[in-house]
Amino acid sequence: MENLQQLARTTFSNLPVEKQEKIVAAAVREFSRHGYKKASINTIVRDAGISKGSLYQYFHNKEVLFVFIFERFTLLVKKAVAEQGRSNVARAREGESATAEQGRSSIVRARDGESTTAAQGRSCVVGAGPEHDFFSQVGRVLLAGIEFIDRHPDYFQIYLRVLFEQDVPMREKLLAQVRLFSREYFGPLCQAGQKSGAIRSDIPLAVVIFILDATLDRFLQSYAQGALDRDLDLGQINREELLVQVKLILQVLKEGLAVYGNSGNRVV
């Protein structure tokens, strides 16, 4: 399978970029709507404007095409996170104002033309000190995830199908790629957070990463697929309300679920 994937990448990459994108778009659309098993190669080649024989010159079979498309998804995610990381560094170096920072954040560019203010968006993720810095970074990752879904909704639907459908080729390997990337990203972030005193150091690093990854991933699942959570209805609420939910998630991650008494001790 790996040899077939390499052959697909080499042969396909020799096509004009415009033709590549047309084939990819057709495949992404079909896989996102119907999943792997029910996706139709006939529909893909029709929408791409090519023959089935031509498609099989680039991709040996439907499985090779699907894995290729999922790899494109992981690359897009890595690119989005890398851009988020560079923006974090730029903010730290420039010491820019809250308004300027949030003005560039696309999360407040509501799809429905809402006028969410820059200050409201930034207040969800920015504070002062190492603790606030850690959780502000987590918040920006969550906002970047929302932006990714807005930009690439079909790709995220493919991820959800791999997550929830069992009849996907190489399913465990594909999901392992996503989990590995989460560990690679959150690992250094959580290590730095524990070292700076922003988060508890007595909790094993693997547990911290698991909690963050599970919380953010579940939030984004609900945002992308409303049927997964009708109570919060994240995909239907306006941007101002969505930012409130983001802030609440960060607050719970920071303070936990325990109730504190007047003495400051946890009430058991």
Q: Is residue 54 part of a domain?
A: no
- What is residue 94's predicted lDDT score, i.e. its pLDDT? 56
Q: Is residue 38 part of a domain?
A: no
Q: Is residue 24 part of a domain?
A: no
Q: Is residue 173 part of a domain?
A: yes
The pLDDT mean for the chain works out to 82
- What is residue 176's predicted lDDT score, i.e. its pLDDT? 92
The pair of three-digit structure tokens given for residue 56, joined into one six-digit string: 């099989």
Q: At what angle do helices 41-48 and 17-38 cross, to 10 degrees?
A: 160
- What is residue 231's predicted lDDT score, i.e. its pLDDT? 83
Burial 112-140 (b: 16+ CB within 10 A, else e): eeeebebeebbebbbeeeeebbbbbbbbb
Give the three-class secondary structure for 43: helix
The pair of three-digit structure tokens given for residue 209, joined into one six-digit string: 């990463």
Looking at the 3D structure of the chain, how many domains does it have? Answer: 1
Host domain of residue 208: 69-267
Q: Is residue 139 part of a domain?
A: yes
Q: Mean pLDDT for each consecutive 10-residue tract of the chain (268 residues)?
A: 59 90 97 96 96 92 94 90 66 48 48 42 50 86 93 96 92 91 90 94 95 94 86 88 94 88 58
- What is residue 232's predicted lDDT score, i.e. its pLDDT? 85
Q: Is residue 170 part of a domain?
A: yes
- What is residue 40's predicted lDDT score, i.e. its pLDDT? 97
The residues facing 267 across adjacent strands are: 259
Q: Is residue 45 part of a domain?
A: no
Q: Is residue 133 part of a domain?
A: yes
Say if residues 82 and 185 touch (Cβ distance below 8 Å): no
